[in-house]
Amino acid sequence: MNLFRSEQHAQQWKDWDQEMASTLRPVEWWTETFRNPIFRNRNRSDYLTWLTGESGISATAAFHDRLQQ
């Protein structure tokens, strides 16, 4: 899970895998993805309780849904 200077750089990387080309996205897209509450809430003192509760499960599902876009 790396950042690259450009799409061309990513495609020239030694470990480029065309099958995973759908993960090649602008950094702005990944930034939005990592705004999900499962990342935002990590500094909550009750994070694990939250993560395994209804809100956390819902947020995790939303994260996975976004990855399928």
In the complex, which residues of this chain contact another protein (CB under 8 A)? Answer: 1-7, 9-10, 12-13, 15-17, 20, 23-31, 33-35, 39-43, 47-48, 51-52, 60, 63-64, 67
Q: Which residue has the tokens 């480029």?
A: 16
What is the nearest approach in angstroms of another protein to the Cβ of residue 15?
5
- DSSP characters for 38-58? HHHGGG-TTHHHHHTSHHHHH
Nearest approach, Cβ of residue 43 and another protein (Å): 6
Do the beta carbons of residue 10 and residue 24 sit within 8 Å?
yes
CB of residue 30 vs another protein: minimum separation in angstroms? 4
